[in-house]
Copies of this chain bind each other. A is one copy, B any other.
Amino acid sequence: MSKDHSSNIREVAALAGVSIATVSRALQQPDKVRPETRKKVFDAVRQANFVPNAQAASFRRQSNNTVILLVRDIGNPFYLEIYKGVEEAAGEAGFKVLMGDARNDEHRVATHIDMVRQKHADGLILMTGQFPSELLDQGDALPPIVIASETVPGLELPTVKVDNRAASMNAVRHLMEAGHERIVHLAGPVPESLAQERFDGYRAALAEAGIAYADELVVTGDYSIEAGRQAIAGLLEGGIVFTAIFASSDQMAIGAISELRGRGLSVPGDVSVIGFDDIIFANAFEPPLTTVRQPRQEMGRRAMALMVDRLNGKRTAETIVLDTELVVRGSVAPCRPPHR
């Protein structure tokens, strides 16, 4: 019968009649020990019910092959597939992934950066544009950080993103081609870069088509369903007239549609809507949401790859830009005379 209290490498060594160094080697680099020795060790491991203490190993190695994926808001399903991509690449490289929630709070970003400083993890994949300004000038003193999807002005770090400006222009053009001119933009938390880039794309598309930009048509939010709801409620109550919406997240688009419906307006009958992200619910929604697809899984994979590079000592601040795709489904219709 095997003992049940957890044993250590010394017991195994004693049992196998070898030194602890040999046990360690047999486990880490089996080809470095003679087959017979290896067998003795393995038998002893089994007999002692030995499970190596990863904490001790990490401590000794001064690294634990774990990275933190810190997202803006874990409530947004957008990040789920990112996580999958990160985890996949991490697994291949022998890393574990810890997912953290910044809750739209830059203080929590600082907390997680501290976790890396304290060696809880080897690096941080950052997926929020909020960054504690007091850390901005630390430059080289920052622990390994890779940014995904967003960017932080003033921080030169390895980054994976999409061309938000171009993607937005494309989406807005699609709306204009359907005859829409009074297009609301549900923006992210401008002036953060990500939100700003999409906003810029919206303006650029308008300008290109010779449509005047109107401040009253732009509302910012935190990408949540609730933000989408509230934005539309405010617009409608303010008597603002519009026939289409370009939202910078599917969640805001869905919140907007829900609110429109609650007030008796139909989508796309009265108002056409385009979202951003192509989360899993976009396609199951009614109407199926026309949206900008981001290659989320790949974004996650590439971010993790950049992290591995960084942890291997590479110190470039490479930026990878991935393609987006406008997925046309059922939430956009030709423009009809505006409501009211």
A 57-95 contacts with B by CB, 8 A: 58-59, 62, 64, 66, 74-75, 77, 80-81, 83-84, 87
Looking at the assembled complex, report how far the CB atom of A45 sits from the nearest CB atom of chain B, in whole angstroms.
Answer: 13
Task: Kindly list chain B residues whose C-beta atoms are within 8 Å of the C-beta of A254.
Answer: 281, 284
Interface size on A, residues (CB 8 A): 48
What 0/1 readout, one digit per residue, does chain A (101-116) give for beta carbons within 8 Å of chain B?
1000000000000110
What is the predominant secondary structure among interface residues of chain A facing chain B?
Answer: helix
Give the contact stretch, choosing among A47-55, A176-184, A200-208, A299-307: A47-55
Asked if A84 contacts B74 (CB within 8 A), the reply is: yes
Asked if A55 contacts B58 (CB within 8 A), the reply is: yes
What 0/1 readout, one digit per residue, does chain A (244-282) give for beta carbons within 8 Å of chain B?
000000000011011001000000000000000000110
Task: Kindly list chain B residues whose C-beta atoms are within 8 Å of the C-beta of A117.
Answer: 6, 51
Asked if B96 contacts A4 (CB within 8 A), the reply is: no
Looking at the assembled complex, report how far the CB atom of A261 sits from the nearest CB atom of chain B, in whole angstroms.
Answer: 6
Contact of A99 with B by CB under 8 A: yes
Residue in B49, B77, B258 whose CB lies within 8 Å of A286? B258
Asked if A83 contacts B87 (CB within 8 A), the reply is: no
Contact of A283 with B by CB under 8 A: yes
Number of copies: 2
A 91-144 contacts with B by CB, 8 A: 96, 98-99, 101, 114-115, 117-120, 140-141
Looking at the assembled complex, report how far the CB atom of A72 sits from the nearest CB atom of chain B, in whole angstroms.
Answer: 13
Asked if B120 contacts A54 (CB within 8 A), the reply is: yes
Task: Kindly list chain B residues whose C-beta atoms are within 8 Å of the C-beta of A80.
Answer: 74-75, 77
Looking at the assembled complex, report how far the CB atom of A19 sits from the nearest CB atom of chain B, in whole angstroms.
Answer: 22
A141 CA / B285 CA spacing, docked (Å): 47
A7 CA / B115 CA spacing, docked (Å): 16
Asked if B96 contacts A99 (CB within 8 A), the reply is: no
Task: Kindly list chain B residues whose C-beta atoms are within 8 Å of the C-beta of A141.
Answer: 4, 49
Q: Which residues of A contact B (CB under 8 A)?
A: 4, 6, 49, 51-56, 58-59, 62, 64, 66, 74-75, 77, 80-81, 83-84, 87, 96, 98-99, 101, 114-115, 117-120, 140-141, 225, 229, 254-255, 257-258, 261, 280-281, 283-286, 288
Nearest 10 A/B pairs, CB to CB? A54-B118, A55-B119, A258-B284, A59-B59, A286-B286, A98-B98, A51-B117, A99-B99, A4-B141, A254-B284
Other CB < 8 Å A-B pairs besides A54-B115, A55-B64, 15 of them?
A: A51-B118, A54-B119, A55-B59, A55-B62, A55-B119, A56-B59, A59-B59, A64-B120, A77-B77, A77-B80, A83-B101, A87-B101, A96-B115, A229-B284, A261-B286
